[in-house]
Amino acid sequence: MLEEAGLKSETSATLDALASRLGDRVAFVVVTEEALFSADLRPLASWVKAQPTWSDLPFIILTARGGGPERNPAAARWSDILGNASFIERPFHATTFISVARSASRARQRQYDAALRMEALNEGERRLQTALAAGRLGTWELDLATHDLTTSPACRQIFGRAMGESLTYEAFLQTFHPEDKATMMQAVATTIAEGTDHALVCRTIWPDGTDHWTEIRAQLHRDRTGVPVRLVGVCADVTARIEAEEQQRRLNEVLEERVAERTRELQEAYRLVLAEAKQRERAEEQLRQAQKMETIGQLTGGIAHDFNNLLMVVLGNLQLLNKHVAGDAKATRLIDGALQGAQRGASLTQRLLAFARKQDLQVTPVNLNALVRDMEDLLQRSVGSRVAIELAGPQRLPPVLADANQVELALLNLTVNARDAMPEGGTVRIALREAEQRSEVDSLSPGRYVVLSVIDQGQGMDLVTLQRAIEPFFSTKELGKGTGLGLSMVHGLALQMNGGLKLISAIGEGTTAELWIPVATDDTAEQESVPSTENSPRLRASRRILLVDDDVLIAMSSTDMLIDLGHEVVEVHSGRDALRIIDSGENFDLLITDYSMPGMTGMELAKAARDRLPELPILLASGYADLPPGIEIDVVRLGKPYTQDQLAAVIDKML
């Protein structure tokens, strides 16, 4: 069984032989309780006791009476002797045995990792001491409760003491030059009060009366309750450096006078050249900012994808667990709370994915009142404590035809812009109202709209700035503080939704940004409100499904949901394994595959499977917002995380 699970094993006929073959590279030991009865366990116990501090070799004992002392009194003695012992009662299932074996192997691997970290820490300490010696740095430590000062020999030499001579805290303070002592004391007091590190260069007077320059750095250490307990620092004699810097300073003064005269002569000639070098430096910086945002978007997309996978496991298992606690009100309430939290996490990852890449607009009827209320906490966290968010508008508004995710991003962008316009703080007012456009003005077609307004109390914009505000890469923020793309992106989104963006501003009167979004037609709204029959409960036929996902936890969760729905599932963890099963001649009603898998992606698997079985229905599950371009094969997509009801509805529709 171990070999089939990929775990290399060796057999020992006796306990003495086992004890002689134990070593640091042994992952775990499997022993029967019969081998332990009436046996001399001293060699084994001696080896266990002599293990290195990082080692705790796992033992798996196969027993016929369980591992509890009430059923197996000898188990407690074996646990005392062997230490890290777990028990498997026979007869056992192969899956149980392999699961325990793999757990023991993973635990042993963590011990190896701990050993490597300990070795690295020791090596780091040796390197630190070498670096301190090479840099001629002294170390010191001050106990804040007792004022006991501990110094290294190198530290005492830096203050003019012999290596074996003591240096008390009082003597340490008397070493400083009278003009610098107050600065030193203030730095220590500030570090203790505020917890900030301090670094200062000051004069010290050695016992022989000579002046020296000493650089001192200190850091505050606290106990577990947060109380300051000691200062730890390093010091160095920088007399030679200070003297060299003083000489260099004098030389620099002479050179600066000569350079200043020459600069005045060339300044007018270079003025225009320098000005041109600066719209270019700004343009290059804007390009770098845009590239940085693209990189951040890609990183955000990857993180959101991984969280979608984790949430897939959480949601799936919680839904299945909910079915097993029927009638338990407390358990149901706790599970419902966990489900709501997981679903909020799923909503957050969708926003992250929308930020990470440009999505095709998914235009549906949207309740802007609910959308804004749901975003209130996020908006408040985004603007910080110095800015207040105020919501205003009627309780009932008609739904608009929009992409909810993109509207959320637009609102977040406008709100952050409003915050930046009020560096001293203030109130951002977010208002909703219904309006009617009677004629075509500023690309707005006649019709009914809901207007989403974001109003700040900032300095406002003059007419020239207002006219250029939506131009790509135009920004009034200082270099590096913005890309100049925010308003242009909101403007483009508004046009895509057949709406518009209006900016109203004047110097000293703040700015109002209005996002005009068309009201959904009655036909669209009614169609949206018609209850869907896709998820209506009905008897489902049992299907044979091939499930492919490289993440074992997701595969297990999805398999459990499918089995709970009455289907027969074959679970594999790579595209190549799936193709081998298909090539073996097994028949399946449906292939469900993850998209992002190492070695062979879900889309590559789908193409290969279609080459073999052209009529095989394929469901592609992905935690990404959208798939890369160039994918031509026609498959049904299901975004992660999905619920059991969503999975069942898609399967029913496909089959």
Domain of residue 120, CATH code:
3.40.50.2300
pLDDT band at 431 (very low <50, low <70, confident <90, very high): very high
Phi, psi of 227 (to 5 degrees): -85, 130
Number of domains in the chain: 5
pLDDT at 357 over 60: no
Q: Decide if 620 contacts 593 (C-beta within 8 A).
A: yes
**% of residues, the chain, pLDDT over 90:** 24
Is there a contact between 342 and 641 (Cβ–Cβ < 8 Å)?
yes
The answer to the question of residue 259 being in a domain is no
* Domain shared by 507 and 587, yes or no: no
Is 409:355 a contact under the CB 8 Å cutoff?
A: yes
Is residue 389 within 8 A of residue 455, CB to CB? The reply is no
Q: What per-residue confidence (pLDDT) applies to 536?
A: 42
pLDDT at 486 over 80: no
Calculate what percentage of the chain has a pLDDT beyond 70. Answer: 84
Report which of residues 508 and 350 the model is more confident about.
508
Buried b (16+ CB within 10 A) or exposed e, 68-84: eeeebeebeebbebbbb
The model's pTM is 0.44
d(CA 502, CA 628): 34
Residue type, 467: Q
Structural domain range at position 433: 364-529
Confidence of residue 472 (pLDDT cuts 50, 70, 90): low
Domain-embedded: residue 273: no
Among 573, 524, 521, 529, residue whose Cα is nearest residue 550: 573
Q: What is the pLDDT of residues 245-286, one digit of tens each?
A: 888 888 888 888 888 888 888 777 777 777 777 777 766 776
Q: Strand 618-622 vs strand 590-594: parallel, antiparallel, or unpaired?
A: parallel
Q: How far is CA 563 from CA 114, 339, 555, 586, in A?
A: 40, 21, 12, 19
Between the alpha carbon of residue 541 and those of residues 239, 592, 645, 652, the distances in Å are: 87, 17, 15, 9
pLDDT of res. 348? 63
358 — pLDDT class (breaks 50, 70, 90): very low
Q: Which range among 54-63, 195-204, 477-486 shows the weakest confidence by mean pLDDT?
A: 477-486
- Regarding whether 502 and 463 lie in a shared domain, the answer is yes
Distance CA 575, CA 597 (A): 8
CA quadruple 292, 514, 351, 391: dihedral, nearest 10: 120
pLDDT of residue 480: 45
Domain presence at residue 286: no
Question: Is 194 contained in some domain?
Answer: yes
Residue 353 has pLDDT above 60, yes or no: no
b (16+ CB within 10 A) / e for 328-344: eeeeeeebeebbeebbe
Contact 86, 62 (CB under 8 A): no
Burial of 476 (0-12, 13-18, 19+ CB in 10 A): middle
180 and 98 inside one domain? no
Same domain, 592 and 482: no
Whole-number pLDDT of residue 463: 80
Task: Indicate the residue type of 264.
Answer: R
Question: What phi, psi does 484 have (nearest 5°)?
Answer: 75, 20
At which residue do the structure tokens 């003597």 appear?
171
The gap between the terminal CA atoms of the chain, to the nearest Å, is: 38
Q: Domain check: are 558 and 629 in the same one?
A: yes
Spatial strand order in the sheet of 636-639: 568-572, 544-548, 590-594, 618-622, 636-639
Please count the CA atoms within 13 angstroms of the CA of 280 that sit on its side-chain side: 7
CB 565 within 8 A of CB 644: yes
Whether 428 contacts 376, CB under 8 Å: no
39, 152: one domain: no
Binned at pLDDT 50, 70 and 90, residue 40 comes out as confident
Across the range 531-542, mean pLDDT stands at 50
Predicted confidence (pLDDT) at residue 175 exceeds the cutoff of 60:
yes
Token pair in block for residue 51: 């293990």
In degrees and rounded to multiples of 5, residue 500 shows phi and psi of -165, 165
Is residue 451 pLDDT above 80, yes or no? yes
Co-location of 501 and 557 in the same domain: no
Residue 242 in domain: no
pLDDT for the residue numbered 583: 94
C-alpha angle with apex 13: 11 to 18, nearest 5 degrees? 70
CATH number, domain with residue 423: 3.30.565.10
Q: Are residues 550 and 457 in the same domain?
A: no
Whether 464 is covered by a domain: the verdict is yes
More confident position, 362 or 148 = 148
| pLDDT given at position 259 | 84
pLDDT of the residue at 135: 66
Segment holding 620, helix H or strand E: strand 618-622
Which amino acid appears at position 119 of this protein?
A: E
pLDDT at 331: 80
Q: Do residue 465 and residue 553 come from a single domain?
A: no
Last residue of a domain, one of 75, 103, 125: 125
The verdict on 342 and 393 lying in the same domain is no
Task: Judge whether 283 lies within some domain.
Answer: no
Domain with 223 in it: what CATH number? 3.30.450.20
pLDDT at 359 over 60: no
Question: Could you report the per-residue pLDDT of 94-136, keeping only the tens digit for each?
Answer: 999 999 999 999 999 999 998 888 888 777 667 766 767 666 7
Same-domain check for residues 30 and 169: no
The β-bridge partners of 29 are: 59
Express each pLDDT in 190-232 by its tens digit: 988 898 888 889 999 998 889 999 999 889 999 988 899 999 9
Question: How does pLDDT run across 123-174, given as a tens digit for each residue?
Answer: 766 776 676 766 678 888 999 999 999 888 888 888 888 878 888 888 888 8
pLDDT band at 369 (very low <50, low <70, confident <90, very high): very high
- 352 and 229 both lie in a single domain: no
pLDDT, average across residues 599-611: 92
| Model confidence at 51: pLDDT above 60 | yes
Q: Which H/E stretch holds residue 300?
A: helix 281-323
Q: Is residue 534, in this structure, part of any structural domain at all?
A: no
